[in-house]
Structure 1
């Protein structure tokens, strides 16, 4: 890839559009990028990197920070880059995201990032920033990180690479040679080993926890061996633990068998005692039940005669029940007549209420009708008074429109006068800038004449100092030298003279810019003047230009006052029109109301007549119903019926109750006689038993039973728990054995790839891979380093580590062929370190191109670093760089030191402009 042309616009320190034609610098060779500090030398490489990849060459600035702070609001920010690749020419246009002035209207908007890649053939150009970056990587074969490593050698970066330790250099190589997968593999294996170790430790802790929970009686033979195991925090042998646990479980199982047999014997004895005790309690209970039955017979037999007499007396009230039943049925049949009477009463009360409301409606509507007729009369008078109001409104609107048109012309003229005044001020400022720059330029030219005279006088003085008496002058040939030219003390050098000329050229450019700017402003002033005069003559006639502003302002104020007065009158007319429209609507609405109200009154009068006839008919019907009813209303009648029903029910209940009491008492007496006979037969053949003695025996057996059950439960809990613990220990024992084997295998692998093998140098797998690249970089670097050091120095990878703790494998030594020694590169002097680091950086660039599949980058930039070299070393470095340009390569050196300027003729000179921003000139 070789640059052909670069265009930078409003980018970094460059406020305007700047073009760099690399073809002027030739097909190959060295050229210098020089100029003022901070003017934007390195920005040239930033612009190329941005055009290709959408990012800067450094990591400080982001793409949205490229907008020049010196640029005008309407100057676009972009980079155009034309380059050759495999003898074909490609073109890229790319702009970052930035804030720009709106093309239409006022304010600002965000210009989105965009890019276009144009091909040398008929292929469709690629658009969009990310797509262009992707296409560039596919075309050139390297990404942005590889490109800046190959094409840009910065002093700080390659000196850092020279002096870095293994760990730091490994991180640099990781990004360059993509060895991160090896690093990730190392970390993954280390993590797997740590996970397995944690699993192993967790399982061991679980087994210890289970061992501590094994239960055993303190009097048992196994208690002491178990206590010894439980006192340890680690388990030496899983087999020992499981063997002891199995013995404890077998012993507990035997104890459970003995206790359960004993418990069964006790239960059988207790069952026999409970049967005898139950029989004794049954005999005792039967005797008590016989005595209770005899007591009941003694109480109930006298009562049975009295209950029989009560039944006979109650049955004498039976005829009264039939009489009440007939009366209740008769009155029940008349209850519906009471309902009908209530309905007629409700109806007649509602009709009387309706008649009252209807009369009130007739009275109110009659009053409303009179009010409507009065409103109609008033509204008709209002409409008649405003019949010509619309015509007056149209005349006023036309007069107002004519005045507004005239006032708008006044405003346009007044605005043009203000713009004219502002432009006149801008013209005067531009004139002053031009005159000031022209004056400075003239002074500089006069000063140049004096400097040239002093320079040539100095040259003459140098020649005169070499004249000898009696020998010819090399200029005029005279052998006599009456008045020899003298050397001055403050004569300028040729370089100072050239720099002063360049300053004059810059001032002449600025003077030309200010002159053109003043001419443009003057043209705008004249145009504004003509427009103001032509427009003002149309509305106020001819008058002095200085009076136009005052007259226009006065005329504008008069127009505004007239418009305001007419507007007030129009507003008044509009209010009256609204009043007329409102009155017309009111007339229409009230005429409808008048008709509706008249019809409503007529209907109400007809309804009142009909309602009065209905009231008279209902009054007759109510009188007929009342003549056939015994009680005042249904409520009174219902209450009387309830009283009779209650009396009837009381008599019936009394008969029923006395009968039931007699029958119940008779049945109870018979029941007690049968019970006494049955219980006496049951106990006649039974033997008498001692209940107290049986209860004492039951208590003793129960205590023995509960005590045996307690021991069974206690041992059973331990037995069940120990079985579960034994299962878990056996399960974890099988798993921990597998994990232990896997852990030692993975741990061995992790130690190998992470450089932690005991007694070996700490070289990781990734470092081992990188050592291969490093050896090739060193071999390529030594080709240049041997030349630049006159064969004294040669770089060599340090084989032996300083210690077995720190990471090693990428340390760097230097061989001094003058004394046959080998030492650290950190012992090199500043100039030697620069030559070594430059060689290493060039070697790295070559290796990256080689790894990228033979990619050929025919352009390179080297940023500073030459200031630490003496004259001989500088010549050697320049020769090496000249050697690099053989073939078709072009190398740009970014530097400001004068020794480089004298050695390299082709130069890109970057200067800061006085008005802000930077500009570029190419010197061949």
Structure 2
């Protein structure tokens, strides 16, 4: 940024218009701004800041910028011409100010005025850019890359502030650095981390609630085995909860297994007793059994001989099925490859059909190349976007020209009639302006009242809605709690009923001819029958699942009710005690009044423009018509130029868009096409890969079928049997062989042959004793089965707990990581050695950069004696960590506090600090070049040698093509700096005198 010229009128101490040529002052690199105390030296800097930002440094109100010496009709105005970002601009600012009414007595208020113009390169003409105060402020801020506060610290260099900064504690330094570098986003990052930690903590607690519920289920399943083992009392969210629950589960499983071992011993004793009675019974019925076996063996032998042909055919089929099993993996692989290829081919055809040219057989490389070409076309649309934007701008400008031409023609026709009514029209214009100003003030007041009323009304409506929702949520919570209790009672009841009917459940698993798992007998003369209300395992598990779902619903209802109550408290605080209807009535009363005042206030600018136009027409009188015609000719020429440029741009857009609506629509179409070609390329590549794998699978299948003895894969597939068929076939063959061996063994058994010669035996004598022993065995078996079921249930629940713990582990790690990071950035972690918050850490890095940049100049100013260094430690236990400044004295080799510097040393140290901060903030702002700097006061505290050193450093700034303005009343500087701007104070206001620098240098 370089300043060229500035013109101030009725500003501060300046009564009349004063012009300053900064180009002439800056020709030597350094210039001096001096004058008597109170003459207005600082007002020159205030004018620069006011022209750029519409505000002055510090807290002075803009309404006091007007000179008390100025004539009443003279408007306060600042016009600044500068170059920034390769553009030459002119900024005009007028503050809000009072002036006498043009008719009648009293004063009226002129609103603030801003205007921005740009010098067109090569043409030498100025073009208007904006008259909006906000638009101009945003444009200047974007070009300079810094706010007003940063500009005042970087360009105007207030030395008193930096001396205070140099001596300040870490807290005050942090406030200034935070404003300059905008570190509020790091405070936002801290808040975000804490929010994330709270959210993850809630999820961890919810998962822990489920783990605790599993622990209670295991406690119920363990029964008496865990009566002496209480559950852990760890609360949700505690890190050791999972370990304690799993440890308790291991103890519960151990106790249950001890009960199972006891049941096993009881079962063994019952089995021993049964065997004794069985031996006595067997001795009584052995003869009858052998006789019966002989007769049955003869009958079965005849049956086996009749089925021999079927047995031999089944054996041959089994051999081929076993050979086919060797080919099964290759068959499965071939089937899998076929399915994958069909899926990939369908995807390829679908994506190809979605292309603009329909289905295509192009290879993936061509499709990917087409997608890349489309994305390149998309990138080339930037020029068309700029052309489209320029068309909109030209259309708006041309519309304005048309309106100006129409206004001039109408003005020319109405000139004579208007002059006749001039006196009345002037009075009407003045009344209109006064009325609009009063309406503007009223609109501002009503707007504040309306915003407050609307906010309270909306909060009251939210409050009323949340009150109703709170009632519903409380009822839902009550219902959820009742449902959870009912579901738990139902589950426990079903579990108890199932345990009572476990014998019938075991009997349901018996099969004819297969041994009983309790007694081992293949005969089942009297299996237990299910009683009324029998419950199976599936029913019990469904009841348990219903209870778990009901318990989860209860937890969700509790969270919902808590959230609603927090939102309701916030809404009540914002709404106050008034009802929503009362607040809505207040808004309804304020809105019409505000709309009327706003519409009336909008007439301020049109009224002033109409007044100014009327004055101009009155002054020109008869010459007005000819002047309007001359303007119309000029406007016509400008309109023709705009039409030519507009036609050229429209032709370019038509060629690029090819009939499409806009550049955005064309870009959207290209994006969709690029995505379609990319998807088609991926699908084609996948289809090619699956086809290759299918061919390989078919080749492996043919090889496997040949090795297994089949002529074709189809033959192997036909010979293959599913597991059920293969098992049934093998069982039939084995059954035949077993029956055949059994018959042969029976017929050849000497005992059987001997028994046939004996008389028939009667085995009923020992049956009663045997039945009693069997009953005891069934009771022992039922007890053993119950113990096993208890162990199995505990194993299942323990596995669920372990799985849930494993699933929760990543979430716990995330919570621990977020908690650690949140405590680290907030400065509460032991790992944070200096207890620095994240914002302080960033500011410390910035301060370290500033100290490094400042030390380069400080060493030169102090003849190599002083260096500024940054320290992370607190200074004397005060302020924040990480924002300490120390000065190193090379003469003594010691490091000491900056407050120990003398007055002159403090000045050049603060000057070096200010220049260093200017460099760092400039880099932070994007490297905006600052070609004009001002240094305000402080040189009077320097001796002659130090002054030479300081001026050498400042002289070195012009090596970077910078101009430095020194604001000082030190007389010695007038001899050293030829280029001067003197502010002369007088009773009627101040004025400026400018003296050009000689090309020889800055000092004589």
- Taking structure 1 as the reference length, the TM-score comes to 0.42
Structure showing greater Rg: 1
- Taking structure 2 as the reference length, the TM-score comes to 0.39
